[in-house]
Chain A
Amino acid sequence: MKLLIVEDESSLNQGMTEFLSASGYICESVGNYRDALEKIDLFSYDCIILDIMLPGGSGLALLKHLKNDRKEDGVIIISAKDAVEDRVLGIDLGADDYLTKPFHFSELAARIAAILRRRNFKGQSIINAGDMQIDTSGMTVTVQGDTVELTQKEYQLLLFFVINKNKVLTKNAIAQHLWGDDMGFPDSYDFIYAHIKNLRKKLTAAGCTDYIRSIYGQGYKMQLA
């Protein structure tokens, strides 16, 4: 899977590149409008991570250019602007998703994976992760051929873990992925613990290895080879 990261803030660009490369993507990164335009014209990508405010031009102009050329690249806009109008405009112009800065890299990875799943629907609907087989089109999980009944939240949680396997996920990141940012969480994250406990219980009961590890009760990690 090939990604193009268009972001002018170099440390952020580098951070995303490292994180996404570690997730198994082939990443190319550019820091301004002209370079981005050149890359877009020359190559095609599975997904483009696009900042709106760029030196030399607007990310939205790039998006327009891309859609005028009928390119099939998936696009996720990352922007500091939370303006609803921008969000709507971006989606109207053909972006697949819109993520407001600052965001968790794990969240970005999850969004990219979702876009890629939607785009390559036929071939890629089965994810193999250890003992588990996740069918993203039917939203079902099987362990050694047996279906594991999961609630919607548990399924989302599992997918989030699988996409960000071998990475430490904090409670904040998990909570934001499952419930969004505007929820006004109660002071404790006990309900996340409950969800994870249930998920682990269901998976181990089906005969699956327990891949999820708690990191000092502050975060979790799915250890997959």
Chain B
Amino acid sequence: MKLFAKYNRVNIAATICVFIIGSTGFYFVLQYVLTRQLDETLRVEQQEITAFVKQRDTLPVIENAKDQWIEVRPVAEMTKKASFRNANIYNPQEQEEETVRQLVFTIKAAGKQYEIIVSKSATETEYLLKLIIGIAVMMIALVLVFNYIINRTLIRRIWQPFYRTIDAIKGYHAGESLQLPQEKIDELRLLNQSLHQMSEQINQDYQTLKTFTENASHEMQTPLSVIRSKTEALFQYAERDEKLMQHLLTVEDATQKLARLHHSLLLLTKLKNRQFSTTDLIDFKEVIQKKIRERQELFESKKITVSLNGDITEKIFHPHLADIIVSNLLSNALRYTPAGGSINILQEEKAISFQNTAVNGSLDVTRIFHRFYKADQSAEGTGLGLAIVDEICSASGCKVVYRFHDLKHIFTIDFNMLT
């Protein structure tokens, strides 16, 4: 629900409530006031009659008006107090049924007891009441409608800069500066300022981290280069010493593994930092064919048959990362397919599957994309290849899934979410 909708809902409900309560109150107050006014005229009439009787000890001759008339009846008992009441009676003057206000009181005149009922038509009052209430309701309705329209247009306009800010944040990547306009509204300006500061902070951290990884990379690769260069120099002396040769090879292997590990970890860090932004239209079929060609002899030496089927449309992807994904999956397949096995690559409209013959059963589905996961701890390789594939996929907006089916390991890159 939008903030405005929520606000509006509460606002309208509250307004309606207030107006209903107010109108009811207004109605009763008005009715009370108008009835009091009627009662006042009736009381004046009573006073006039009482005064007349007191003076002359006889009832006055009653002249009935259109909206006011008096009935006189003899009664047995006297009541002390005069009483008001409402009634619907037949008005002989107007010759129709109408609502009246009556004042009933008793009086003694010439030794006789009379009950006098003064009736006054309440039609006028009721009409006035209806009119006033009608006008009030109309006003309320108008106020509600205008309120709604004003809120709608005004609030929509007021929130415009907010949505601009949101759009700016959506397109934000660490490493670039967040450009937000200067707003006139205090709250929005504050929001933009805070966001700007935050993005500056993020940028700074990002740059620090980037520089750190680059420096760390440099600092680590340099000693590795020295070790390798010295090993290489030593090889020249090892020609006549098999033991030395073997020791040196172990050192060289370890150095190479360390270098590879280091490159992989660095790549993972960069992927986590989203340091790859340039994209291109990539023809994955071409990439796969190239990578297979490069490894042709390696496949042949293990007597592995490789097949590539289907077609896939070009995808928007980082060219280097596309290379790495395909490379890693193929290298994995090459490493873990038994001699004489087969690798099938199936291209679909929005997915590529790499299937290879398995030696043992399924791999651990929950941990397979974890860093340093190896089904066989003694295996060659860094244990980072699949973690990198996974990380590239999530950085590029697609997904990699593993499943085991029909004695085959199947890795599927799902491009469905990719535009």
User: Is residue A135 within 8 Å, beta carbon to beta carbon, of the partner chain?
Assistant: no
Instruction: Scan residues 96-119 of chain A and give those whose CB is less than 8 A from a CB of chain B.
Output: 100-106
Q: Are B252 and A183 neighbours in the complex by a CB distance under 8 Å?
A: no
Task: Tell me the minimal C-beta distance from A152 to chain B in angstroms.
Answer: 11
User: Is residue A218 within 8 Å, beta carbon to beta carbon, of the partner chain?
Assistant: yes
Task: Tell me the minimal C-beta distance from B289 to chain A in angstroms.
Answer: 16
Across the interface, A15 reaches (CB within 8 A) one of B220, B229, B298, namely B229
User: Is residue B294 within 8 Å, beta carbon to beta carbon, of the partner chain?
Assistant: yes
- A83, A84, A102: most-surrounded residue (chain B CB, <10 A): A102
Across the interface, B221 reaches (CB within 8 A) one of A15, A102, A168, namely A102
Across the interface, B218 reaches (CB within 8 A) one of A81, A172, A191, A218, namely A81
Q: Are A80 and B232 neighbours in the complex by a CB distance under 8 Å?
A: no
Report the Cα distance A80→B213, complex, angstroms.
11
**Are A101 and B221 also in contact (CB < 8 A) when A81-B214, A168-B236, A182-B327 are?**
yes
User: Is residue B334 within 8 Å, beta carbon to beta carbon, of the partner chain?
Assistant: yes
Contacts of B233 in A (CB 8 A): 15, 18-19
Report the Cα distance A136→B297, complex, angstroms.
24
Q: Are B334 and A102 neighbours in the complex by a CB distance under 8 Å?
A: no
Report the Cα distance A18→B226, complex, angstroms.
13
Across the interface, A101 reaches (CB within 8 A) one of B224, B230, B260, B301, namely B224
Contacts of B229 in A (CB 8 A): 11-12, 15-16, 19, 102, 105
Report the Cα distance A180→B260, complex, angstroms.
12
**Are A183 and B218 also in contact (CB < 8 A) when A12-B225, A102-B228 are?**
no
User: Is residue A181 within 8 Å, beta carbon to beta carbon, of the partner chain?
Assistant: yes
Q: Mark A103-143, 1 if CB is under 8 A from B, else 0.
A: 11110000000000000000000000000000000000000
Instruction: Scan residues 303-338 of chain B and give those whose CB is less than 8 A from a CB of chain A.
Output: 320, 324, 327-328, 330-332, 334-335
Contacts of B66 in A (CB 8 A): none
User: Is residue B154 within 8 Å, beta carbon to beta carbon, of the partner chain?
Assistant: no
Task: Tell me the minimal C-beta distance from A104 to chain B in angstroms.
Answer: 6
Q: Are B226 and A12 neighbours in the complex by a CB distance under 8 Å?
A: yes
User: Is residue A149 within 8 Å, beta carbon to beta carbon, of the partner chain?
Assistant: no
Q: Mark B94-138, 1 if CB is under 8 A from A, else 0.
A: 000000000000000000000000000000000000000000000
Report the Cα distance A218→B230, complex, angstroms.
18
Closest-by-CB residue of A relative to B275 is: A83
Q: Are A191 and B301 neighbours in the complex by a CB distance under 8 Å?
A: yes
Q: Are A9 and B222 neighbours in the complex by a CB distance under 8 Å?
A: yes
- A12, A182, A190: most-surrounded residue (chain B CB, <10 A): A182
Across the interface, B249 reaches (CB within 8 A) one of A9, A106, A170, namely A170
Instruction: Scan residues 220-250 of chain B and give those whose CB is less than 8 A from a CB of chain A.
Output: 220-222, 224-230, 232-233, 235-236, 238-239, 242, 245-246, 249
Q: Mark A186-199, 1 if CB is under 8 A from B, else 0.
A: 11001100110000
Interface majority SS on A: helix, strand, loop or mixed?
mixed
Q: Are A179 and B298 neighbours in the complex by a CB distance under 8 Å?
A: yes
Q: Are A179 and B214 neighbours in the complex by a CB distance under 8 Å?
A: no
**Are A80 and B218 also in contact (CB < 8 A) when A12-B225, A215-B245 are?**
yes
Interface majority SS on B: helix, strand, loop or mixed?
helix
Q: Are B225 and A101 neighbours in the complex by a CB distance under 8 Å?
A: yes
Q: Are A168 and B294 neighbours in the complex by a CB distance under 8 Å?
A: no
Q: Are B235 and A168 neighbours in the complex by a CB distance under 8 Å?
A: yes
User: Is residue A167 within 8 Å, beta carbon to beta carbon, of the partner chain?
Assistant: yes
Across the interface, A184 reaches (CB within 8 A) one of B218, B232, B385, namely B385
**Are A183 and B235 also in contact (CB < 8 A) when A15-B229, A172-B252 are?**
no
Report the Cα distance A221→B236, complex, angstroms.
10
User: Is residue A208 within 8 Å, beta carbon to beta carbon, of the partner chain?
Assistant: no
Report the Cα distance A81→B327, complex, angstroms.
20
User: Is residue B349 within 8 Å, beta carbon to beta carbon, of the partner chain?
Assistant: no
Q: Are B239 and A221 neighbours in the complex by a CB distance under 8 Å?
A: yes
Q: Are B228 and A181 neighbours in the complex by a CB distance under 8 Å?
A: no
Chain B residues in the interface with A (C-beta under 8 A)? 214, 217-218, 220-222, 224-230, 232-233, 235-236, 238-239, 242, 245-246, 249, 252-253, 255-256, 259-260, 263, 266-267, 270, 276, 294-295, 297-298, 300-302, 320, 324, 327-328, 330-332, 334-335, 380-381, 385
Q: Name 12 A/B residue pairs within 8 A (Cβ), A-sorted.
A: A18-B233, A80-B218, A80-B225, A101-B221, A102-B255, A104-B232, A105-B229, A170-B252, A179-B295, A186-B298, A215-B239, A219-B235
- 18 further A-B contacts with Cβ under 8 Å, apart from A9-B225, A83-B214, A219-B249, are A9-B226, A19-B229, A53-B218, A80-B220, A80-B221, A82-B217, A84-B320, A167-B236, A168-B235, A182-B327, A183-B298, A183-B334, A191-B297, A191-B298, A191-B301, A215-B238, A218-B245, A218-B246
Question: Top 9 closest A-B pairs, CB basis?
Answer: A184-B331, A80-B221, A15-B229, A191-B301, A102-B225, A80-B218, A168-B235, A102-B228, A101-B221
